[in-house]
């Protein structure tokens, strides 16, 4: 039988016994100070100070319960990974089947009196298209060839995607989900639908991060070079000279991407430098951009196939791998439907990511998450950008 999280949570009262005295001591020291200062204070201020004294105990109780839960999530994940490495079947017992605790205690109260707030270091700005283009020019003396129209880019993407095994349904529905069905080839997360500030470096139809661009150049660079070299041989005149220059830049970028260990963390480090920004500019190029967008999805398709998953991935399943990473996504994709209905989405998140993700909390099983993904794809596939991309196929 499934090992209940309640067995683990049986340890929580002991944790609270250990935590509560410390909290009480802190409160004992805090309260005299608060109320000593409270002579003549307004009722609102006195109420604020009372709530402020209560808040730590409530939060400590929740944190003890949540820590026990998320520790078991990690333990079960390690167990599943070990089973897969040894070729064993993963079963329902290998997942935590209870949903995680969510904090519903008192919120940290807001001080009705003005108070000094500590100076926070300025937030590091997120680079945008102008930064990517500037880096490409400064480091490689290269400016990506932008398409003459959105349709030109969509047609280039459709040709390359079809030729390499993506279906129209996969490409269009993932685009519809990632961009809302209206995104352009250069759309950046946050700067869309009226947004004014970038929230990440994610860009284009399948929302590649700078890390994705570095990783794709490192791992798929040979294929990108081969495809562009083939195009050079079929071109003549000034257009050929421009392509030859682009090919030379691409070869340099691939060599630089391969110069670090082939790990996500190393690619992420490079992606946060002007070197990585310059590579990310290639997402905008009408020749190389469609290849990068295609390979972002193809790597997931090939990963699933290499792991023995021969059934074609639905667009929603492919999106799960696109969003959560291939290993985690495949865990959901290979799950039988009966298990999908029972397994909470929390099994595929870290605590912080889950608690900040209202979609995963609201649609809290694998089946529900896949269903809402399909529903959004259905709605957004009818929007102009998605219809235009479908027509390009």
pLDDT in tens, 176-223: 999 999 999 999 998 877 778 888 999 999 999 999 999 999 999 999
Q: Examine the domain organization and report whether 294 and 378 are in the same domain.
A: yes
Same structural domain, 174 and 222: yes
Largest interatomic CA distance in the chain: 87
Residue 354 domain-assigned?
Answer: yes
Single out the residue of 286, 69, 293 nearest to residue 179, CA to CA. Answer: 293
Angle at alpha carbon of residue 355, lines to 8 and 92, rounded to 5°:
50
- Among 39, 68, 94, which residue terminates a domain? 94
pLDDT beyond 60 at 15: no
Residue 70 is assigned to a structural domain of this protein: yes
Can you read off the two tokens belonging to residue 185? 């080839």
Domain carrying residue 49: 5-94
C-alpha dist (Å) from residue 344 to 18, 98, 273: 31, 7, 37
Which whole number is the average pLDDT over 59-76?
A: 93
CATH code where residue 207 lies: 1.10.530.10
Task: Take residue 197 and report the two structure tokens written for it.
Answer: 């500030």
User: Is the residue at 204 inside a domain?
Assistant: yes
Identify whether 33 is part of a domain: yes
What is the average per-residue pLDDT within 287-302? 95
Domain match, 193 and 334 both: yes
Do residue 177 and residue 325 come from a single domain?
yes
* Co-location of 147 and 21 in the same domain: no
Banded model confidence at residue 104, pLDDT cuts 50, 70, 90: confident
Q: Is residue 270 part of a domain?
A: yes
Residues 166 and 234 in one domain: yes
Smallest CA-to-CA distance from 268 within 205, 200, 323, 356 is with 200
Q: Are residues 303 and 200 in the same domain?
A: yes
Same domain, yes or no: 156 and 208: yes
The pLDDT tens digits of the residues spanning 236-263 come to 999 999 999 999 999 999 999 999 999 9
Tens of pLDDT, residues 296-326: 999 999 999 988 888 899 999 999 898 888 8
- The verdict on residue 339 lying in a domain is yes
Number of domains in the chain: 2
Is residue 36 assigned to a domain? yes
Could you say which of 94, 117, 151 is where a domain stops?
94
Q: Same domain, yes or no, for 233 and 170?
A: yes
Q: Are residues 89 and 152 in the same domain?
A: no
How distant, in Å, are the alpha carbons of 38, 39, 41, 105, 124 from that of 45? 8, 11, 6, 20, 36
Report if residue 88 sits inside a domain. Answer: yes
Burial of 166: CB neighbours in 10 Å, binned 0-12, 13-18, 19+: buried
Q: Which residue(s) pair with 344 in the sheet?
A: 365
- Of 26-30, 137-141, 335-339, 383-387, give the lowest mean pLDDT range: 26-30
Query: Of 73, 94, 115, which residue is a domain's last?
Result: 94
Residues 145 and 231 in one domain: yes
287 and 364 in a common domain: yes
């Amino acid at each position: 039988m499934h090992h209940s999280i309640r067995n683990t949570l049986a340890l929580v009262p002991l944790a609270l016994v250990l935590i509560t005295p410390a909290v009480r001591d802190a409160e004992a020291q805090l309260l005299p100070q608060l109320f000593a200062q409270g002579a003549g204070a307004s009722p609102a201020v006195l109420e604020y100070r009372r709530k402020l004294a209560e808040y730590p105990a409530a939060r400590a109780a929740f944190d003890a319960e949540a820590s026990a839960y998320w520790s078991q999530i990690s333990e079960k994940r390690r167990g599943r990974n070990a089973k897969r490495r040894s070729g064993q079947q993963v079963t329902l017992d290998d997942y935590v089947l209870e949903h995680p605790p969510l904090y519903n205690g008192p919120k940290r109260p807001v001080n009705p009196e003005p108070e000094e707030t500590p100076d926070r270091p300025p937030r590091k700005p997120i680079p945008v298209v102008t930064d990517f283009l500037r880096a490409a020019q400064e480091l490689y003396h290269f400016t990506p060839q932008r398409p003459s129209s959105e349709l030109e880019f969509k047609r280039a993407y459709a040709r390359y995607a079809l030729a390499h095994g993506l279906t129209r349904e996969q490409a269009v529905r993932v685009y519809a989900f990632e961009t809302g069905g209206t995104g352009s080839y250069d759309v950046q997360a946050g700067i869309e639908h009226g947004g004014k500030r970038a929230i990440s470096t994610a860009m284009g139809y399948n929302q590649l991060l700078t890390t994705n661009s570095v990783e794709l150049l490192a791992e798929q660079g040979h294929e990108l070079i081969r495809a562009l070299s083939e195009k050079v041989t079929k071109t003549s005149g000034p257009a050929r000279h421009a392509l030859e220059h682009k090919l030379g830049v691409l070869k340099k970028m691939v060599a630089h991407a391969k110069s670090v260990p082939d790990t996500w963390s190393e690619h992420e480090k490079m992606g946060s430098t002007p070197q990585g920004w310059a590579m990310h500019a290639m997402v905008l190029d009408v020749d190389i951009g469609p290849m990068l967008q295609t390979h972002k999805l193809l790597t997931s398709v090939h990963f699933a196939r290499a792991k023995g998953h021969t059934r074609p991935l639905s667009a929603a399943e492919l999106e799960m791998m696109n969003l959560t990473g291939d290993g985690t996504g495949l865990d959901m994709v290979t799950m039988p439907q009966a298990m999908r209905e029972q397994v909470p989405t929390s099994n595929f998140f870290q605590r912080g990511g889950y608690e900040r993700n209202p979609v995963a909390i609201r649609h809290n099983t694998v089946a529900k998450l896949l269903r809402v993904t399909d529903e959004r794809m259905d709605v957004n596939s009818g929007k102009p950008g998605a219809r235009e991309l479908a027509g390009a196929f």
